[in-house]
Chains A and B, each alone.
Chain A
Amino acid sequence: MSITGTEIKLEQKYTSLFNDSKTSLDKVVSENVSSQRDKAIQLFEEKGIPNKKVEHYKYTNMVPLFEESYNVDFEHEVFKKNLSEVFNCNVHDLEATTIYLINGWYYRKNQLPETLPEGVLIGSFAEFSKSHPELFEKHYNQYAKNDEDSLVALNTAFAQDGFFIYIPKGVVIEKPIQIVNIMHSEQDLMAFPRNLVVIEENAQAKILLCEHTLSENKFLLNGVTEAYVDKNAVFDIYNIQNQHNLTTNVSSVFVKQKQHSSALTHNLTLHTGVTRNNIYIDMDDEHCESHVYGLFISDKNQHVDNFSFIDHAKPNCYSEELFKGVLDDAATAAFAGKIMVRPDAQKTNAFQRNDNLLLTENAKINTKPMLEIYADDVKCSHGATVGQLDEKAMFYLRSRGISKEESRILLMYAFAYEAVEKIRVPALREQIRDLVEHVFRGELNKCHSCALCGQESNGGYSCM
């Protein structure tokens, strides 16, 4: 099935695609998942693809990106190549439980370690929706805000597969669970991965989500991850986005937190075409703690837009937000962070910061840190800065005999360091530190150029 650009209204392209493919959409998932589609597509139709007039998308116009024609895989395609030949992950050295998604679909040859504690479920969203309907009924589509963002509604309408993780009461998974989503196709492709994570009381899990593109086609990802973090649970999600310039990645994460829980989201955008990250944190109980972090390093004509909404619905919660951006060449970026303190959410502590480094005269940043506060006994602050590398620091380094280029890299690295240090998994932190340094040294781009120039991906293709 394909979407081609014609004269008809853009939204209609998607609604008619939806109507045409409804049977294949419903085939793989449970009734519950299917039953949510109609309302979602209706919401999408009402709101349409967000353009600059939509306040939340003021600095990123989605219309031209969705106007392009893409294919959509409605069937679980068999991945013909040997995965290990195509893909080789550096972070793999990390002791992690690794599973793969291909174009948003759960890879069938995934092998899970036998040592996983009892009751832990890791696997395909589609399959578990059928085998564990009770969990899906309770949690699926309960946290995603379809009415807030039409692209989330679009995902709900087209949701078929992705990953599903369930950690039962009291189980602590020490090793990070690494999920690698690989976009690989012979055609331009659009995908709607849908993920669900449920962490029960006193349980803990850390997820590392890596997004890659392995063929030089245009890709559009519109993914949604919902996470439910129950009492005293701890949940981390690190999203590493490392995709080529023809990629549009819209990623929405919704976290629902219960009493005394702690959640952390970290979006590391290292390389993409257009990235839009939506992070919604709903602290629906007292004494929750949430950490929202991000680091984006962009060059060429890349565009990164981070949007976050932290909802302090109940008293005594704590939130900390930090986004750091480094913009080179003609890269543009936007940040919009909203902290909402609801009436009676007293004793709230909420801190938000966005710091940006502009390296060239063509780089651009729009930042919008917002506070909306309806309670009086709160401590909230936000800050935003835009600047350049410190000339004095530069001079100091150079006077010590360090070359200009090396000084620049050191200072950029020092700037990004603060965000990297927020990673709570020591082994992963180490890995990311190296990775960020590679990005600044321009060594990561090299591997992308080969993907771009169309060289056959083989064993020599190593990314990240």
Chain B
Amino acid sequence: MAEDQDKILEEVTGNEYKYGFTTDIETETIPKGLNEDVVRLISKKKNEPEWMLEFRLKAFRHWQGMKSPDWAKLNIPEIDFQDIIYYAAPKQKPKLDSMDEVDPELKATFDKLGIPLEEQKVLSGVAVDAVMDSVSVKTTFKETLAEKGIIFCSFSEAVHEYPDLIKKYMGSVVPYTDNYFAALNCAVFSDGSFVYIPKGVRCPIELSTYFRINAVNTGQFERTLIVADDDSYVSYLEGCTAPQRDENQLHAAIVEIVAMERAEVKYSTVQNWYPGDKNGVGGIYNFVTKRGLCKGDYSKIMWTQVETGSAITWKYPSCILMGDHSAGEFYSVAVTNNHQQADTGTKMIHIGKHTRSLIVSKGVSAGKSQNSYRGLVRVNKKAENARNFSQCDSLLMGDKCGAHTFPYLEINNNTAVVEHEATTSKIGDDQIFYCNTRGLSTEDAVGLIVNGYVKEVINQLPMEFAVEAQKLLQISLEGSVG
């Protein structure tokens, strides 16, 4: 059995990262290093207005006085911020009018990734904003969306076209002072996506951003801002991949969501950055600040994430439940293998009355990885009748990995009902045996059990992503007998 296990684990770890290719696209980069001039240069390259530069500089100055957080259960090697290229953009013609003008190499890259960039892939029903090396290269379906009044464009475009909205909402959920990596992002972010759903509009298609790190030595710093006005609905998807490289690359992003009265935003992520090889060499450092603000009454924000990639993940998608009767949900599957480290979870801050939150977190650790859930549920003094339920399960595969749970529950109101539950287990021999007696091979049995284990979360993903997520899980785990 032990031998089998080793063999299967080996097979699993031997699986190659299929997105590990690089594309030979001419890239425009700036020199390595970080200082005020670099911040100014980025701003200039992007042709930004003065107020944007001011914002960046303020953030940069603040960042200089901050220290890298060390509270997470992660072993983060020191990052040399001077050794990173902060701006890399695929060289392109200044303006893209149709698909034909997109660099064919670039198009090939996204085709390879299976991203429907082309308009004719209408049937797939997803509008995509593709971001390569932190610059938005193409947004599809813009016209269709515009008819409904929906704005879906790159962040830089929004800075020029909709400065009022950007000024109003940028930094309103994640201020530049929030944390070390958020401050860094505010100073050097290159691009990202902006979404505005007007009052009463239900976005007819899924909106999606695809992030791809391509260039060597670069960091990727993008930010996403989603504003859902009263009575609107949007479902947003995010996918990420990166080439296979021996050095670590930094990804520090910000996602801000604002949901007004009765608005609902669903944000799904399938994170598959390059996790490093089986000896733990290379891989992306993924330090992301994601936060949603349920500003209006009866608003709702849902985070769903499937985290399979990255050498280090430091990510806590959160909900601030400000409006009365607002709701926040968090569904997460985090899979770590080899030398990966993940410290991920959520924060649910109950401020409004009758707010509800739900947390379902499923961790799977294999190899020599460390997988932690860290979450906070805070019920403020005036948040009457708050309700929270958290469930955090861990599945261990192999005896060299770790699974940890660090929930924080801070309850300041006596009408709150808060529950937290966590279990840690492995796939039982009896479960496997049961499946075997029903004619399933051990490999299939493990696949079945793992899929059953994460089903609660996968079910929350939109169709296209659920398929991809399931495949991803199969690649990384199927057959590893616990």
Contact = CB atoms under 8 A, between A and B. Distances in A.
A375 B399 CA distance: 5
A380 interface: yes
Contacts of A380: 423-425
Which of A363, A380, A384 is packed against the most chain B CB atoms within 10 Å? A384
B417 A387 contact: yes
A111 interface: no
B410 interface: yes
Contact of B409 (A343, A363, A375, A386): A386
A298 interface: no
Q: Specify the main secondary structure of chain A where it touches its partner.
A: strand
Contacts of A368: 406-409
A372 B363 CA distance: 13
B404 A370 contact: yes
A367 interface: yes
B416 A377 contact: no
B431 interface: no
A384 B391 CA distance: 11
B414 A361 contact: yes
Nearest to A341: B424
B219 to A, nearest CB: 30
Contacts of A55: 71
B80 to A, nearest CB: 27
Contacts of A381: 421-424
A378 B407 CA distance: 20
Interface in A35-94: 55
Interface residues of A, number: 35
A269 interface: no
Contacts of A379: 423-425
A108 to B, nearest CB: 47
Interface in B375-402: 381, 394, 396-402
A365 B421 contact: no
Interface residues of B, number: 36
A343 B403 CA distance: 11
B5 to A, nearest CB: 10
A383 B411 contact: no
A371 interface: yes
A366 B407 CA distance: 10
Nearest to B73: A372
Contact of B420 (A346, A373, A385): A385
A372 B396 CA distance: 12
A370 B418 CA distance: 16
A376 B405 contact: no
B407 A384 contact: yes
A370 B71 contact: no
A177 B71 CA distance: 43
A373 B424 contact: yes
Given A369-B422, A382-B422, 16 more contacts: A346-B399, A358-B411, A364-B410, A365-B410, A366-B409, A368-B409, A369-B405, A370-B404, A371-B403, A371-B404, A371-B405, A376-B426, A381-B422, A383-B420, A387-B417, A388-B417
Interface of B: 71, 73, 381, 394, 396-426, 482
5 contacts: A363-B414, A370-B404, A370-B407, A376-B398, A378-B426
Interface of A: 55, 343-344, 346, 356, 358-361, 363-388
